[in-house]
């Protein structure tokens, strides 16, 4: 269960709003909108009848009123209590130069006038404990409480005590704001992030000499959240997050999808590979990308399609049989049934069959030969064409590849067909790679990091979640691959 932030898209990024009775740290540099976002969270609760508490450590009531003047926020709402907690030199019962708890101008007057409370963790917690229980709390900001502790670990403990007070004693859901630069070093920042249930990071980005605010859900325990960066937009209605989606509305799209055989990849693509379209699978030469390709081929065959394949050098027809141990067919059966057509670009795969074509230097039209053969013999079946471009581009000119690409699209590819090209930009002509990516409907990138982890990123797609990355995980049994 989650509480709304007052922004529908942010609730979606959080996987359903702020987790109930949990804490969310909103961190970022000055001016990024932390206080405004926090007040919108409170206002969403007030609109639903919640009892809310606003604890300000840096601004007076008048300053808050000025800050929120452009927005539809009600600091005088019946369900809202606004208090100020401030650290400054003053007189205590023990000494006359201690740091003390004081309220700012216009704040609650609960602190007695004849002496001030020493600015300690215990006194701040005791002071705030008078205001429970509450449904929602905004503490703005933790940076103003930094003098409460002499070192980073003590500050973390103080923050943790406040979070426990809000969550366990008040039964409240809380937002705590902080400026990283005021918290202390990186250790202190990480400790605060550990103390909170979730972290939302606000930031600035500059483009064309203009500054833009951005938001990213950096961490959220126990939730499948969206951690991509989104823009924060401030207007008269409050705070919104854009884009609400990164692909055109489905009403504008006319294509269907072919499942890939990997459920997590289908979800990422918004259904699978675009039918009647062209997909580029880009890799860096170090990954097991062809395991995904073989699942795509198997799924196409399950869907009743014929498949035309230009094999990479390291994959033989015999190896395809090993990838398909969980199916009811073999390479030999598919060739005999006119459902598999192969162009061997490097060397013989050991199959002497009329549907296995060898590359011919004199022909210079092998892709056309493969497509013509596939359509001639496959009957009414839609076609799945998978072309590994690396061996192809070693033998065919760049101009010829462009010609083949356009001819295949215009002359052969029907609305139910699927075409996938695999490319390795590191060893192929940059202009040609850019051409293939530019003319594709979808672009998937697979690469391996220095730590050995393999990543898959959806770079381009009319549906699904472009910009999202997943870790590729391999298994001993079919389908052998997953995304996590």
SS3 content of the chain, % helix, strand, coil (to 5): 30, 25, 40
CB 128 within 8 A of CB 150: no
Taking the C-alpha atoms of residue 130 and residue 128, their distance in angstroms, rounded to an integer, is 5
Residue 96 pLDDT grade (very low, low, confident, very high; cuts 50, 70, 90): very low
**pLDDT per position as a tens digit, 281-291:** 999 999 999 99
Contacts of 209 by beta carbon, 8 Å cutoff, 6+ apart: none
User: How does pLDDT run across 248-307, given as a tens digit for each residue?
Assistant: 887 777 779 999 999 999 999 999 999 998 999 999 999 999 999 999 999 999 999 999
Which of 330-344, 427-441, 458-472 shows the lowest mean pLDDT across its residues? 427-441
Around Cβ 433, how many Cβ atoms within 10 Å?
A: 19
Q: Report domain 2-242's class.
A: alpha beta
2-242 against 250-483: fold identical: yes
SS3 395: helix
Residue 97 has pLDDT above 50, yes or no: no
Domain borders along the chain are: 2-242, 250-483
Query: Is pLDDT of 112 > 50?
Result: no
Q: How far, CA to CA in Å, does 220 sit from each of 16, 196, 217, 356?
A: 11, 9, 7, 52
* pLDDT exceeds cutoff 60 at 185: no
Q: What is the pLDDT of residue 350?
A: 58
pLDDT band at 122 (very low <50, low <70, confident <90, very high): confident
The answer regarding whether domain 250-483 maps to CATH 3.10.450.50 reads no
473, pLDDT greater than 90: yes
Query: What is the C-alpha to C-alpha distance for residues 147 and 404, in angstroms, rounded to an integer?
Result: 69
What is the model's pLDDT at position 363? 57
The length of the chain is 484
| Contact yes or no for 241/231 (Cβ under 8 A) | yes
Residues 173 and 440: their CA atoms lie apart, in Å, by: 46
Q: What is the model's pTM?
A: 0.74
The contacts of residue 207 (CB under 8 Å, 6+ apart) are none
CA distance 303 to 123: 69
* Exposure of 289 in the CB half-sphere (CA atoms within 13 A): 26
Q: Specify the residue for token string 């990479």.
A: 312
């Amino acid at each position: 269960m989650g509480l709304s932030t007052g922004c529908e898209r942010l609730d979606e990024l959080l996987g359903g709003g702020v987790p109930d009775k949990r804490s969310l740290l909103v961190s970022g540099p000055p001016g990024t909108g932390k206080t405004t976002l926090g007040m919108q969270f409170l206002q969403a609760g007030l609109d639903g009848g919640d009892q809310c508490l606003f604890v300000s450590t840096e601004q007076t009531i008048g300053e808050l009123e000025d800050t929120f003047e452009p927005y539809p926020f009600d600091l005088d709402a019946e369900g809202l209590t606004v208090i100020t907690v401030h650290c400054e030199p003053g007189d205590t019962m023990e000494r006359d130069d201690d740091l003390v708890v004081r309220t700012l101008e216009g704040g609650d007057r609960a602190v007695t006038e004849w002496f001030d409370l020493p600015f300690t963790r215990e006194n701040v917690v005791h002071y705030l404990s008078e205001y429970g229980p509450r449904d929602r709390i905004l503490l703005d900001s933790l940076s103003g409480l930094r003098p409460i502790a002499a070192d980073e670990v003590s500050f973390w403990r103080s923050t943790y005590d406040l979070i426990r007070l809000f969550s366990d004693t008040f039964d409240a859901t809380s937002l705590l704001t902080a400026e990283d630069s005021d918290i202390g070093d990186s250790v202190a920042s990480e400790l605060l992030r550990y103390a909170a249930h979730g972290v939302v990071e606000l930031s600035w980005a500059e483009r064309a000499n203009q500054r833009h605010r951005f938001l990213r859900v950096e961490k959220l325990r126990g939730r499948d959240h969206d951690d991509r960066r989104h823009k924060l937009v401030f207007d008269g209605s409050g705070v919104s997050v854009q884009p609400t989606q990164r692909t055109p509305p489905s009403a504008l799209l006319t294509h269907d999808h072919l499942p890939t055989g990997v459920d997590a990849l289908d979800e990422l693509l918004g259904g699978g590979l675009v039918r009647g379209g062209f997909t580029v699978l880009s890799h860096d030469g170090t990954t097991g990308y062809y395991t995904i390709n073989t699942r795509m081929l198997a799924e196409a065959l399950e869907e009743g399609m014929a498949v035309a394949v230009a094999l990479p050098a390291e994959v033989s027809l015999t190896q395809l049989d090993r990838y398909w141990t969980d199916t009811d067919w073999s390479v030999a059966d598919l060739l005999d049934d006119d459902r598999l057509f192969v162009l061997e670009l490097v060397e013989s795969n050991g199959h002497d069959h009329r549907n296995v074509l060898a590359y011919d230097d004199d022909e210079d039209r092998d892709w056309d030969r493969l497509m013509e053969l596939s359509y001639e013999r496959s009957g009414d079946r839609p076609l799945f064409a998978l072309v590994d471009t690396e061996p192809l581009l070693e033998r065919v000119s760049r101009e010829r590849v462009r010609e083949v690409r356009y001819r295949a699209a215009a002359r052969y590819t029907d609305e139910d067909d699927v075409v996938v090209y695999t490319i390795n930009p590191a060893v192929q002509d940059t202009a040609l790679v850019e051409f293939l990516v530019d003319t594709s409907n979808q672009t998937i990138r697979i690469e391996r990091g220095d730590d050995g982890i393999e990543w898959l990123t959806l770079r381009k797609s009319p549906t699904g979640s472009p910009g999202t990355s997943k870790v590729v995980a391999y298994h001993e049994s079919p389908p052998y691959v997953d995304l996590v």
